[in-house]
Amino acid sequence: MTDEADRTGPPRRIRADAQRNVDALIKAARTVFDTSGVDAPAKEIGDLAGVGVGTLYRHFPLRSDLVKAVVEAGIDACAAAGPQLSAVHEPGEALAEWLRRYTEFLGTKRGLAPALHSGDPAYAALPGYFLEKVGPALATLLDTAAKSGAVRDDVSAHDLLYAIANLCMPVPGQGPEYNQRMVTVLIDGLRTPPAARQGKP
């Protein structure tokens, strides 16, 4: 009995501590990458996370490991937000709020662009991971909102993902708030049935 407790107790505590460190590092890296870029010093990330550089490299030996983890965490958060928003909002507003969060997520990726577009094979699986996680979450929200009559029913989840991605492309002389405003215009149009747009009865 004692041997079993020794085997099962301490490892769980170690894993929990390690997960807290990983979570803190990912959160810190997201902030640092946004302000200082993906080549920011490891010490800056570790200091913000409250851990040493050795801990950072133990969990993320390569910078690409950390960048990938930051992107995947953002994708996971987008996917998880779908059911959470559906539980507290009407279908149309749940969809609109999710699209706003998706827009914010795309905005945070601006600082990661140099790494993600570098051709590093470490990032090759990210597009598939994105579609696997985010696609179904948006499809469920969109389908529910369309069935409730809150939004038009002739737009697919695929349409919205790529339309918003295009609207979030950097515009010379404009900041992220410009992209957010354009997405708001898209959301307003999504709420308008085609017949009403064309002035038909």
Q: Are 180 and 169 in contact (CB under 8 A)?
A: no
Q: Are 196 and 119 in contact (CB under 8 A)?
A: no
What tokens does 97 get? Answer: 């709020």
CA quadruple 25, 28, 30, 36: dihedral, nearest 10: -120
pLDDT of residue 152: 92
Is the predicted pLDDT of residue 200 greater than 60, yes or no? no
pLDDT of residue 64: 94
Sequence-distant (6+) residues with CB within 8 A of 195 are 201
Q: What is the mean pLDDT of residues 167-182?
A: 88
Domain annotation for the chain: domains and CATH numbers = 1-61 (1.10.10), 64-201 (1.10.357.10)
| Per-residue model confidence as pLDDT tens digits over 105-158 | 888 776 787 788 888 899 999 999 999 999 999 999 999 999 999 999 999 999
pLDDT of residue 3: 45
Q: Are 194 and 151 in contact (CB under 8 A)?
A: no
- Segment among 4-8, 55-59, 106-110 with least mean pLDDT: 4-8
What string of H, E and C letters represents the secondary structure of 141-154?
Answer: HHHHHHHCCCCCCC
Is the predicted pLDDT of residue 7 greater than 50, yes or no? no
pLDDT of residue 119: 84
Closest to 92 measured CA to CA, from 151, 160, 152, 180: 151
Is the predicted pLDDT of residue 28 greater than 90, yes or no? yes
Global pTM reads: 0.81
Task: Look up residue 115 and give its amino acid.
Answer: A
| Per-residue model confidence as pLDDT tens digits over 73-82 | 999 999 999 9
